Amino acid sequence: MRKSVASCDTSSRKTTASLSRAPSMHATGASPLRARLASFSSIALLLSAGAPIARACPAAQPSCRRAVAKTSSPGGNAFRPVSTSSPRASTRMPAHYRHDGVRIQHDPYAPGMAEKYGTPGNTDDDGFDPYADSVGAGIYGGTVKRRASDGGVVIGAQYQNHNSRPGPVYAGGGYTPVSAAIATFAAELQSGKAASEDATALAALLDAFPDLVNDVSTGGAVPLHTCGMSRANQMATAFLIKRGGDIEALDTYGYTPLDRMASNNLGVGARALLENGADPKSAHGGGEGPRRVAKQSEATDVLRALDAAERSRTGADSNSTAVTSLRVFCGTRPAVAGTYVAIEKVESIPRKFADVCVENGWDVADTWARLNGGANGVWFAHEAGESVNPSYVYHNKQDGCWWIDGPDGLGVFKAPGPPHAPPGASIRWRALDGEEDQPTLAVYRGRREV
């Protein structure tokens, strides 16, 4: 809470916390994984390359339905930002399909494509291959540059300017450790190498570094986005949600994990997200929404999952999928770090929120009623108890943001997000005192995190 409830302006209040950071895997690179699984459908790519949307398939080219060999890389299937194509243009473009039957949303042989990305067989392994409709670690799921001061993600020009929006800057070195672990998750279980999900390499990584459950990689992808990049990767979706993955996370294309599943026709991953509270009609990132993405990709498996979810849905804030606890990772501000538990009593108000209201002559109950917008009125109190640490987390319905308020009742961080899903990725959060540091959150649903 800030001193003015009508404004989201930052103050000059500075933190006195140490800028030291706990050990983390964030800056550790994964071994280069050059092979990729298909698909990066993106009309916007054509626009950025100066290419027309529609073009006939050249007679010299092989069939427009192209076969792409399957691989075991964690990279691959990507997506498009908000479509700028018109229905008329879409009908003129010849149909191109990936090996898995998903429709490609661009013409791989459009003028300017080869100049920007290379000719067939000569594309950048870390970048975009328009002919296979695939991406490498530089575009999605790869290691990112981080600030030495606080470990925060460096934001700037994205690899190959594939997405013209500023985003996490590729550090080189291939995929992140968590992306690589997601890629082997299903194979470890199927082969018997791992006796259970908790014995996989992904589980071991998250046991050691639990903040990596919402680790930021190239393209602004968190691990649940990476699950939406291949049929193998999707098998880790439910496990990551159980470990605190953000089901409504947004990448730099404005896509949620469910949008990713829709772009690649991954029904298993889509169902896992929907069963755990993902909004089947979500477009809170300014994107197209999963149903439209699925229709454009001819993703029949995901369309069936969306239909079933909407028939049986009780709401994104239903008790079975509601957030029950949060864990805030913030080495720069230890006062707000730790686990927060859901407070479900509608009449309950954070003690320090009340104190700030009294200090400013505001009616406590009325002010809280106007501001608290969490699903079913839920907010989150620090597990230490208000007598020890009165920090709290709540959704502000006036500005549509989640707020982390410190022990003095004043705002420390804020991030835009829907009422049923506190943002997990660090790049979504902003410090209200103007500093650069950002927290990462793990978001637990349907159970109490111990």
- The predicted pLDDT at position 358 comes to 97
- The predicted pLDDT at position 40 comes to 43
**Residue 112 covered by a domain:** no
Q: Which alpha helices (DSSP H) does 229-325 contain, by range? A: 237-242, 257-263, 267-275, 290-297, 300-312
Q: Which amino acid, residue 380?
A: F
Contact status, residue 143 vs residue 171, Cβ threshold 8 Å: yes
Phi-psi region of 446 (alpha: psi -120 to 50; beta: other; left: phi over 0): left
**Residue 372 covered by a domain:** yes
**Residue 417 covered by a domain:** yes
Tokens of 87: 């229905």
Cα–Cα distances in Å, from 111 out to 47, 52, 122?
A: 11, 7, 16
Q: CB-based contacts of 98: which residues, under 8 Å, 6+ apart? A: 38, 39, 66, 68, 104, 132, 133
**Residue 398 covered by a domain:** yes
Residue with tokens 């290419």: 51
Query: Model's pTM, two decimal places?
Result: 0.81
Q: Rounded to whole angstroms, how far apart are CA atoms 79 and 49? A: 16
Q: Rounded to whole angstroms, how far apart are CA atoms 267 and 299? A: 9
DSSP three-state, residue 62: coil
In the chain, the number of structural domains is 1
Cα–Cα distances in Å, from 42 out to 48, 163, 220, 264?
A: 10, 10, 16, 12
Q: Rounded to whole angstroms, how far apart are CA atoms 166 and 148? A: 20
Domain of residue 441, residue span: 323-445
Q: Rounded to whole angstroms, how far apart are CA atoms 63 and 260? A: 27
b/e 411-442 (16+ beta carbons within 10 angstroms → b): bbbbbebbbbbbbbbbbbbbbbbebebbbbbb
Q: CB-based contacts of 147: which residues, under 8 Å, 6+ apart? A: 153, 154, 436
- Residue count (the chain): 450
Residue 403's H or E segment, with its range, is strand 401-405
Quick: pLDDT tens for 139-173.
999 999 999 999 999 999 999 999 999 999 999 99
Q: Which amino acid, residue 375?
A: A
- The predicted pLDDT at position 101 comes to 74
**Residue 390 covered by a domain:** yes
Tokens of 173: 């070195």
Contact status, residue 104 vs residue 41, Cβ threshold 8 Å: yes
Residue 365's H or E segment, with its range, is helix 364-371
pLDDT, one tens digit for every residue, the chain (450 residues)? 654 343 333 333 333 232 233 333 333 333 333 333 333 433 233 223 332 222 222 233 322 222 223 333 454 444 343 333 444 444 466 777 877 777 787 888 889 889 899 999 999 999 999 888 889 999 999 999 999 999 999 999 999 999 999 999 999 999 999 999 999 999 999 999 999 999 999 999 999 999 999 999 999 999 999 999 999 999 999 999 999 999 999 999 999 999 999 999 999 999 999 999 999 888 765 666 899 999 988 999 999 999 998 888 654 556 678 999 999 999 999 999 999 999 988 779 999 999 999 999 999 999 999 999 988 899 999 999 999 999 999 999 999 999 999 999 999 999 999 999 999 999 999 999 999 999 999 999 985 443
**Residue 154 covered by a domain:** no
Q: Rounded to whole angstroms, how far apart are CA atoms 112 and 47? A: 10
Contact status, residue 49 vs residue 106, Cβ threshold 8 Å: no
**Residue 328 covered by a domain:** yes
**443 pairs with which residues across the strands?**
326
Phi-psi region of 286 (alpha: psi -120 to 50; beta: other; left: phi over 0): left
**Residue 434 covered by a domain:** yes
- The predicted pLDDT at position 16 comes to 29
Contact status, residue 25 vs residue 151, Cβ threshold 8 Å: no
Q: Rounded to whole angstroms, how far apart are CA atoms 96 and 432? A: 47
**Averaged confidence pLDDT in the chain:** 81
